[in-house]
Structure 1
Amino acid sequence: MARTASQDEIRKAYRKLARKHHPDLNPGDKAAEEQFKAVGAANDLLSDEEKRARFDRGEIDAEGQERGFGGGGYRNHAEGGQGHFYGGGQFSEDDLGDIFGGMFGQRGGFRRRPQGPMKGEDRQYALTVSFIDSVNGGTSRVTLPGGATLDVKIPPGINDGQVLRLRGKGDEGFQGGPAGDALITISVMPDAVYTRDGNDVRSTLPIDVKTAVLGGSITVPTPAGPVKMNVPPHSDTGSVLRLRGRGVKAHGGQEAGNLYVKLQVMIGKVDTAFETFLKSWNPEGGQDDRKGDGAS
């Protein structure tokens, strides 16, 4: 005896296909948008018991309009016009997908299967990149199902969670249609030295007491490599120096960001002469006039 899909099966198929073709997950994809509408329209018809029965008997078409008998409804569609409904077996996910995906064309009319070239399915991937590559740009490799690899160009200034679209790197097209795209979600690894603030980069740099007091030239690590920087005299912990153009590289018409370096004064190794000086030093009025270790 022929068996039909239950309302629960129809509902589950609808939810899965609606998620798959939802416009929010396929921005700019007109084919997915049309499929989303088609799935919704098919669900409206199949979830109504009376309309579903009339459509199955061929009394109405996919738009709910009266038609002659013998059309076969979605049973006929599912079996390619032979008038049977999966001959006693349970529905598979592909079966239900065929019903929903093939019932309606772009204008809501009945069709058996899409004809002509169709774009292939998009593929979803995840890729973790280093902080340095997210700032400077670079190339990373994605391993595809089956072991093949795909080199991905990382543009400067990419953000955590951003999605790269590689056109034509998804599934092959149908009947000569274009291949789908590879959609790659980027995760940026935290860095032990740098943090990002828009197109600017920030870091903390330790300096010795002598350089903080007298000033001088120091070597500063930057995302693009070490550079020389002058520390002004009388610098203190928390002082921030700017290296122009040493942040995120220029990209997309935006200028390169800056690197902001916060100084952290470190005492380091202390010798006897420095200790003697500190004992006689009065921060408020210069050197202490007291003589001898026993002054009170």
Structure 2
Amino acid sequence: MSKRDYYEVLGVSKSAGEREIKKAYKKLAMKYHPDRTQGDKDMEEKFKEIQEAHEILTDDQKRAAYDQYGHAAFDQSRGGGHGGAADFGDIFGDVFGDIFGGGGGRGRQRARQGSDLRYNLELSLEEAVAGKEVEIRVPTLVECNSCDGSGAKKGTSAKTCSTCHGNGQVQMRQGFFAVQQTCPTCGGQGKVISDPCSPCRGQGRVEDTKTLSVKIPPGVDTGDRIRLTGEGEAGEKGAPTGDLYVQVHVKAHDIFERDGNNLYCEVPLSFVTAALGGEIEVPTLNGKVKLKVSPETQTGRMFRLRGKGVKSVRSNSTGDLMCKVVLETPVNLSNKQKELLSEFEKSMDGSTAKHRPKEQGFFDGVKKFFDDLT
């Protein structure tokens, strides 16, 4: 009797993907499984045919051979029959295992990897800009030295679970349903520790505080993270260790504000220097520098000092320092100084538009506003 086309058996097209093929197989396998068909030989043969089609079409190499040569690619090695059929219990486990958590040996759970940790590190602006090496203490779970992380007492080892025979799963049957469940004896590990390590109580890890040296690169800013691979929590019973993430927070500065790689600051300016021009000292992170102020400078003007900002942590570019001058009104004046200022004010009578154009423009605008209302 000639075999049917495998694609026809599963009811899929020749261009069907693996996911579509598996979906069709599960649907048919549940319909024709012998536990449902109660010994019907024809249905049993139908199930074997479905299983064989699934086996071939979900293997890339076998599928390629079948697409090129058809059934002839496998007849010789299979002896012309439906060879290769697995036990019905295994197949049923595969069908339901994908739905309920895995079947057979594939359902065995691995020991959990250690958790990642986060450490919040606070830095001053100077430290963040220059970079430094800091020492931190991190409370965490580390590998138990007594058992080397195995969880078993020194000189002993874990043994294969007698309940699931190392599979980590047990099969529960209810009528024609077979459902895979985590083995209650070993918790899905496939092995049990009969003589656990005392210091770690069989967990393979203990609480401790690690002291680590962390190199902070120049230019970091609030929100940046530094990853220390393998410095997180130890995994269970020899599983991989998690990572430690050092989260940077830069404290507010008394003088500077940072925006990316640029720094901003306000610099007080006397009205005499603002009017006549001159040089003033302004602070930078590397000391004071001279800033030339042009005559007739108005309050709020921004001066840029190129290259006096922060060097980027991700490139060789360096930001600028932006200095905003703020005109400072003199205080605690003597009588003589007040007289001089009064004389100065009188000297500009009738010349407001010439000497204070913004003031003149403002009052002209106010006058026009009220004139328009009347």
Aligned residue type for 1:276: E
**Relative to 1, partners in 2 of residues 1:219 and 1:113: Cα closer, same or farther, differing over 3 Å?**
same
Among residues 263, 270, 276, which one is paired with 1:214 in the alignment? 276
Residue of structure 1 equivalent to 2:132: 138
Q: Shift of the alpha carbon at 1:244?
A: 0.6
Tell me which of the two structures has the higher relative contact order, counting C-alpha pairs closer than 8 angstroms and 6 or more residues apart: 2
TM-score (norm 2): 0.43
| 1:8-157 equivalent positions in 2, closer than 5 A | 61=93, 64=96, 109-113=106-110, 120-145=114-139, 146-157=208-219
Q: Secondary structure at the match of 2:274?
A: helix
Distance 1:174-1:139 versus aligned 2 partners, 3 A rule: same
Letter in 1 for 2:107: F
Structure 2 counterpart SS, 1:186:
strand
When the two structures are aligned, how many residues end up with a matched partner? 191
Q: Are 1:243 and 2:305 matched, yes or no?
A: yes
Deviation at 1:220, TM superposition (A): 1.2
Q: d(CA) in 1 for partners of 2:305 and 2:289?
A: 9
Amino acid corresponding to residue 202 of structure 1 in structure 2: Y
Secondary structure, counterpart of 1:183 in structure 2:
strand
- 1:160 corresponds in structure 2 to 222
Q: Secondary structure at the match of 1:226?
A: strand
Say if 2:115 and 2:243, in contact at 8 Å, map to a contact too: yes
* Structure with the larger helix share: 2
Q: CA RMSD in A?
A: 3.6
- In the alignment, which residue of structure 1 is the partner of 2:337? 274
Q: Secondary structure at the match of 2:93?
A: coil
Residue 233 of structure 1 corresponds to: 295
* CA deviation string 1:141-188 (max 9, x = no partner): 422125543332333343323322122322346787764321122222
- Tell me: CA distance 1:225–1:175, structure 2 relative to 1, closer, same or farther (3 Å): farther
After superposition, give the CA deviation of every residue in 1:243-270 in whole Å (9 maximum; x if it has no partner).
1111111432251010101111223343
| Cα separation, partners in 2 of 1:120 and 1:280, compared to 1, 3 Å | same
For residue 135 of structure 1, what is the amino acid of its counterpart? V
Q: Distance in 2 between matches of 1:228 and 1:222?
A: 10
Secondary structure, counterpart of 2:136 in structure 1: strand
Deviations, residues 83-113 of structure 1 (Å, cap 9, x unaligned): xxxxxxxxxxxxxxxxxxxx669xx922254
Deviation at 1:58, TM superposition (A): 9.3
Q: Flag the 1:113–1:253 CA change in 2: closer, same or farther, 3 A.
A: closer
Distance change >3 Å, CA 261–CA 225, structure 1 → 2: same
For the residues of structure 1 that align with 2:305 and 2:102, how far apart are their CA atoms? Answer: 60
Paired AA for residue 274 in structure 1:
Q
Structure 1 residues 49-91: Cα deviation after superposition (integer angstroms, max 9, x where no partner): xxxxxxxx9995376259xxxxxxx9xxxxxxxxxxxxxxxxx
Q: Partner of 2:273: helix, strand, or coil?
A: helix
- Partner amino acid for 2:137? T
Structure 2 counterpart of 1:214, which letter?
L
1:268-292 CA deviation, whole Å, 9 max, x = no partner? 34344432222122445569xxxxx
1:236 is paired with a residue whose SS is: coil
What amino acid is the match of 1:64? F
Structure 2 CA distance for partners of 1:181 and 1:65, relative to 1, 3 Å: closer
Q: 1:250 to 1:286 in 2, by over 3 A?
A: same
Distance change in 2, residues 1:207/1:249 (3 Å): same
Q: Does the aligned pair in 2 maintain the 1:135–1:247 contact within 8 Å?
A: no
TM-score, normalised to structure 1, is: 0.53
Larger Cα Rg: Structure 1 or Structure 2? Answer: 2
Aligned-residue identity in percent: 34
8 Å CA contact retained: 1:63, 1:109: no
